[in-house]
């Protein structure tokens, strides 16, 4: 196995490894779409925070196509798909008299959300 050497560190740190995929995958959602987060509870790796599961939000921007970590982390394929910034109100997330003006923006893969309305 090749071991990282000191002279490789600077180049590696400056390059990184993007999970963005240069592939023409059709987006399932558009900016402005109302969505609901799937209430799933994977036993393996996921990047879907529990506090948004089952909550309703609005697609704010499309970040492009990225590797899907839930499958990729388990060597089950990259399953590239769009990632969107989805806006949620604190009232939707926390109920009660939480603010409706403030927002929490979370990045959601296509497979985390369903259409609503």
Partner 1 sequence: MAKHDHDHEHTAPPSDPALRVKALESLLLEKGLIDAAALDEIIDTYENKIGPRNGAAVVARAWVDADYKKRLLDDATAAIAELGFSGVQGEDMVVVENLPGLHNMVVCTLCSCYPWPTLGLPPVWYKAAPYRSRAVSDPRSVLDEFGVTLADDVEIRVWDSNAELRYLVLPERPDGTDGMSEDQLAAMVTRDSMIGTGLVQAP
Smallest separation (angstroms) from partner 1 to the CB of 30: 19
Residues 59, 31: Cα–Cα separation, whole Å: 5
**4 binds partner 1 per the rule CB under 8 A:** yes
Asked if 105 and 60 count as a contact pair (C-beta separation under 8 A), the reply is yes
Residues 45, 71: Cα–Cα separation, whole Å: 8
Binding mask 73-102 for partner 1 (x = CB under 8 A): ----------x-x----x--xx----x-xx
**43 binds partner 1 per the rule CB under 8 A:** no
Angle at 76 between CA 71 and CA 78, to 5 degrees: 65
Binding stretches for partner 1 (CB under 8 A): 1, 3-6, 8-10, 12-20, 47-49, 51, 63, 66, 69, 83, 85, 90, 93-94, 99, 101-109
């Amino acid at each position: 196995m090749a071991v990282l050497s000191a002279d490789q560190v600077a180049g590696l740190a400056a390059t990184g490894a993007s999970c963005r995929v240069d592939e023409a995958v059709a987006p399932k959602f558009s900016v402005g779409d109302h969505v609901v987060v799937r209430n799933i509870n994977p036993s393996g790796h996921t990047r879907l925070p529990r506090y948004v599961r089952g909550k309703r939000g609005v697609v704010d921007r499309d970040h492009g196509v990225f590797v899907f970590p839930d499958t990729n982390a388990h060597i089950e394929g990259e399953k590239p798909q769009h990632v969107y910034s989805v806006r949620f109100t604190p009232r939707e997330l926390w109920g009660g008299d939480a603010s409706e003006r403030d927002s929490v923006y979370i990045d959601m893969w296509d497979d985390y959300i369903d259409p609503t309305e």
